[in-house]
Structure 1
Amino acid sequence: MGRSSFSFEPGGLSRKDRRALHQQTRTGERTDTTPHRTRKERSLPEPAVAGPFGPGISAGGYWNLAKVGVPVHQATSQHLAGIYPFVADGGLGHRGPIIGVDLNADALWHFSPWESYADTTDRGTFSTNILVLGAYRSGKSATVKTLVTRSLAFGHQAVVPSDAKGEWVVVADAIPGGTVIRLGGGTTARLNPLDRGPRRTGTTDEQHEQMVKQRRIATLISLVQMTLGGTRLTAVEHAVIHEALHRCITATGDRPTLRGVYEQLGVIAADATGDFRLAEAAVQPRFVLRRFVDGDLSGLFEDESTVSFDDQAPIVVVDTSELFARGDLVAQLTQVCTTAWIQAVVSDRSAHRTRYVIREEGWRDMTSLASLQMYQQWLKLSRHYGISNIVILHKMGDLDAVGDADSQERNLAYSIAADIENKFIFRSNTQEQHALRTRLNMPAPHVDMARQLRKGEFLAYVGQYAYLVDCFATSTPWEYDLFQTDDALTTPVRDTDTTPPADLDTLWPTPTSETTDRVDAELDGWLTSWKELS
């Protein structure tokens, strides 16, 4: 801060003289001609100096009762921004695909969950999973599609276990080699959620059998509990499901299906010579599985799979949009079955593959205690299998559909969401402020910022660091048309060719250090020009 100063305008000046005095003040042409004085001389009264305006007025044109204090520096925030690069964060480096612009550092922002996990510095993370949270039309889907499709050029793959809206079908059809598995709508495709899956490398026979058995049991219990409205099964009902599955495995030569378990439950229920408690407990689970065998979900999951998982495909999408139109319960049952089938076929470490597993409407995977426990275990083992689960939620309140208030199920669901280390927080509504602070432990300034984010902007939490990122998913017309999700609301007319190139290297060439340095330099130059114009 500068020293205080006072200046007085002499009276009796003409308008012309006053204008000249003001002009001198603005242009800084006035100078202090007072000679240097000793400490003793400075204690004496200021002598009158004959100036151009009369006795007692300084040569500068005003009464100099105190020494003029010139402020150290005055500038607008636009000019002060010139010192900002010296304190801005360096970002995550150039590893991984370009997602957007780091608005704090004015630099390109790269991100890859596997690169962050492999980073041994304080910028590294201990998880490859990503939580994506934001209101409708905040840019979540376009950003996730940007991350996934641009990651294909880096050798990663993607799986969508249940595409409820058909958004990812368009992406898979546009990617060379992409695969779409359509369920319902007159198709004959079937997925068996009780498939064994590939042998996991590094496990003994006993360990492998135990893993397969746990996944099958968890799937059956989730289906039964979900159909019963979240009612927990009794110990006897658990026992009878175990028994029916064991009998089905024996009868089919380790190729169990929902139809086979349904038939074995019928045998147990009709056995008058066996344990009557098992016979009574088999009735309710059997009625539930009847929905898959003879009900509205028949022809989808009750028999052996008629389609196979192409592990060479860059992206595999299971289209369930026809089934989700039948109601929430059908959607939840469908998601449990398709997710179980996907987990069985992608959890093979020996393949040495890295995959994104995109979970649209992620809360549907957490609707019962059994599914929550299976979900939590799957998230913990994701890095073990080279998988990055992308859990997409519209708001934290979505998890209020899980269990009752303060129930074990709801608390576990919130705990699972909070434990995901990488978080992309998009624009949130006002009513979400409390949940963001308490459930995700976000700082108050960040919560306020989340309310004001524009479409495509998000707060990225990667390990211990936070970034403000603007995703540009429209760097090419092909991406713009591919990633937009507002077809029902807008009908843009684009007179461009959106046919993708024949290979992914042409779409998204793997950047070298020379390329990224050049792009950063061009971006810095563009930002500098933009600031000068603004």
Structure 2
Amino acid sequence: MARRRPPAGRSLPQLASDFGGQLPSARPSGDSGRERHREEAALLRPPAPARGHARPGHGWSPVAAPLVVYRASTAEVGGIFPLLTANGLPPTGALIGYDALTAGGFYVDPVGWVLNQIVTNPNLIFFGKPGQGKSTTVKALLLRMMLFGARVLVAGDVKGEYEPLCHAVGVEPISLGLGLPVRINPLDLGPLGQSWDQLPAAERQARAALIFARWVVLLKALIGVRGITASPSDESALAMVVAELSGWSRGGGQLRAVTIPEVYDALARPTAQLAEQCRYPSVQRMVDATRQSTDALGTLVRGALAGLFDAPTTVRLDWNAPIQSLSLRRLNDLGDEVVGVALACVNSWSRAMTDLRRPGEITIVVRDEVWRQMRLGVGAVQSLDADLRLSRNDGEIQVIVAHKPSDLLAVGAAGSQEVAIAKDMMALCDTKVMFAQDPTIAEELAQLVGLTDIARDWVAGWARQRTGRAVWMVGDRVFKVTTVRTPLEVPLFDTNAALKAETGP
């Protein structure tokens, strides 16, 4: 029986023709091919002398540049060349890393962005899960901004992670803790009290108003720690007390710093004159009406923080140093509430210490572990909100470090005043940096910040694939940025050093 031969296959031209394509025909040989080549060359490039045209601006080229024509669809061209433009930010300020979309360097210049009207304020807020490079990026920003003359104040280093950076630039952090000699008076005058006797009366009046406003806001925040909301009458009594204790209410334009124990004693044992000024019918009625607020302030006098914030300040910030840090690491074992109160006191004092800078000076104030302070109540929220609102006028760059949106929104019940203020704070930070988050948290960020679906997927996907990746939202512009560390910076920025020391290599 004869073997049947398989059917002959289709040739390549036939296969292409069956699917609607056509292969280019071979170039004709001989004179006709050369003639066609000359015709195509004449169409693509007009003839020119070997030494160029003898006209100004035409120059001379020994070899004519070849012109090659390619035909492809837009999808294929996109794969060959992305045709991406630059990110639109000026290359000024600190070089943090590179933009994953353009492969170009990504520079951070908050003040320059304000001057170029890219953003309306220089504040930055960082969101990210622990271990995703959030702290590394913050410290990289601080160190590299120091090269441009910026002065850094870390207003409460709860975990001591900024101490290696301080030591690297020759600065010893200021440590607060039980048994240590350092004392901070959150009701300090600060630079506003310098040369007070030589100031005109109008300037004294303006500065006194700022000082009293800061003091009352802090005292309300400390009262709110115990879940007590200071009433308008309590707020009026606090204002009267600080004015009386400072000597301002007696006239003459004199003003001195007061301490929290003095405020506590004045409320616990008010004079008849003070009760009358606060419009209470008797001293006892004033004591009864302000009892809860008075007892709340007493926790700073007799509680876990006794001896830290109840005496005149014993340290002075050196603004000639590139960085100053107030370390609260030794208070971490006392609980979140104690640390939150310490942060509120340190932030108020830091605010006083950064007043009256010269024009052009750049000061970066870092507020880490902000969720601890936000849980103290509406007073603490209002204090932080005031600092963010004044940053543009004062020339400060406020850096807020948080884990997730609930750090800000957990300050009160839904629809409360605290939550409304916390949401408005997002608008006071025009630059938002979002590191890797779980999909549910990324969705919360998208709703709170206004991320597009693509940017939300970057936060929940792309950023989780490598440490140091983050989505930067500068005004209404979005960037995919990867932070880059130099070999010298790796040991300074490593927040897992303690874990490595305990577990070994």
In the superposition, relative to structure 1, how do residues 422 and 311 fare at CA in structure 2: closer, same or farther (>3 Å)? Answer: same
Q: CA deviation at 1:387?
A: 0.7
The corresponding residue for 2:207 is: 208
Deviations 1:455-487 (A, max 9, x none): 2011111123111111112x22x2001101112
Give the corresponding residue for 2:298.
290
Structure 2 counterpart of 1:468, which letter? K
Pairing 1:392-407 to 2, within 5 Å after superposition: 392-407=401-416
Inter-CA distance 308–25: structure 2 relative to 1 (3 Å threshold): same
Q: Distance in 2 between matches of 1:133 and 1:299?
A: 34
Aligned to 2:216: 217
How well do the aligned residues superpose, as a CA RMSD in angstroms? 3.2
Q: Distance in 2 between matches of 1:92 and 1:30?
A: 46
1:470 counterpart = 2:482? yes
Q: Distance in 2 between matches of 1:301 and 1:399?
A: 26
Counting only pairs closer than 5 Å after superposition, residues 396-475 of structure 1 correspond to structure 2 as 396-452=405-461, 453=463, 454-473=466-485, 475=486
Q: For residues 488 and 180 of structure 1, do their structure 2 counterparts lie closer, same or farther at Cα, with a shift above 3 Å needed?
A: closer
Partner Cα distance (1:353, 1:32) in 2? 72
Deviation at 1:281, TM superposition (A): 2.5
Return the offset for 1:382: 0.5
* 5+ residue gaps, structure 1: 1-11, 34-70, 496-534
Pairwise CA distance, 1:449: 1.4
CA drift of 1:74 comes to 6.6
2:386 matches 1:377: yes
What letter corresponds to residue 216 of structure 1 in structure 2?
Answer: W
Counterpart check, 1:193 vs 2:186: yes
Which residue among 344, 352, 373 is the counterpart of 2:352?
Answer: 344
CA contact (8 A) 1:357 1:387 kept: yes
Q: Structure 1 residues 236 and 273 mapped into 2: Cα distance closer, same or farther (>3 Å)?
A: closer
Q: Give 1:340's aligned amino acid.
A: S
Identity %: 26
| Conserved 8 A contact 2:174-2:325 | yes
TM superposition score normalised by structure 2? 0.79
Aligned to 1:483, which of 493, 499, 504?
A: 493
Change in CA separation of 1:417 and 1:364 when aligned onto 2, cut-off 3 Å: farther
Is 2:176 the partner of 1:167?
no
Letter matched to residue 341 of structure 2: L
Query: Displacement, 1:72?
Result: 4.9
Amino acid at match of 1:260: E
Structure 1 stretch displaced more, 294-303 or 89-98 = 89-98
Identify the residue that residue 388 of structure 1 maps to in structure 2: 397
Secondary structure of the equivalent of 1:92? coil
Q: Distance in 2 between matches of 1:492 and 1:239?
A: 53
Aligned length: 435
- For the residues of structure 2 that align with 1:76 and 1:273, how far apart are their CA atoms? 83
Cross-structure match for 1:117: 114
CA distance in 2, matches of 1:87, 1:387: 34
Task: Tell me if structure 1 keeps the 8 A contact 2:123–2:391.
Answer: yes
Deviation at 1:190, TM superposition (A): 0.4
1:479 partner amino acid = E
Query: Which residue of 1 is the match for residue 47 of structure 2?
Result: none
Contact in 1 for aligned 2:378/2:411 (Cα 8 Å) = no
CA distance in 1, matches of 2:138, 2:105: 17
Cα distance change, pair 99–277 in 1 and its aligned pair in 2 (3 A): same
Instruction: From the superposition, tell whether residues 274 and 265 of structure 1 become closer, same or farther in structure 2 (CA, over 3 Å).
Output: same
Cα 1:286/1:161, change in 2 over 3 Å: same
Tell me, in whole angstroms, the C-alpha distance in 1 between the residues paired with 2:79 and 2:496: 37
CA 1:218–1:75 in structure 2 vs 1: closer, same or farther (change >3 Å)? closer
Partner of 2:166, secondary structure, is helix
**2:271 pairs with 1:274:** no
Query: What residue is the counterpart of 1:73 in the other structure?
Result: 72
The alignment partner of 2:138 has SS state of helix
Q: Is contact 2:271–2:283 with CA below 8 Å preserved after alignment?
A: no
CA displacement at 1:290 relative to structure 2: 2.3
Structure 2 CA distance for aligned equivalents of residues 29 and 159 of structure 1? 70
Tell me the secondary structure at the aligned position of residue 365 of structure 2.
Answer: strand
Residue 429 of structure 1 deviates from its aligned partner by: 1.1
Amino acid at match of 1:249: S
TM-score by length of 1: 0.75
SS of 1:290's equivalent?
helix
- Tell me, yes or no, if the aligned pair for 1:182 and 1:189 is still in contact at 8 Å: yes
**Quick one: which of 151, 154, 159 aligns to 2:148?**
154
Query: Which residue is equivalent to 1:514?
Result: none
Is the 8 Å Cα contact of residues 434 and 471 (structure 2) preserved in structure 1?
Answer: yes
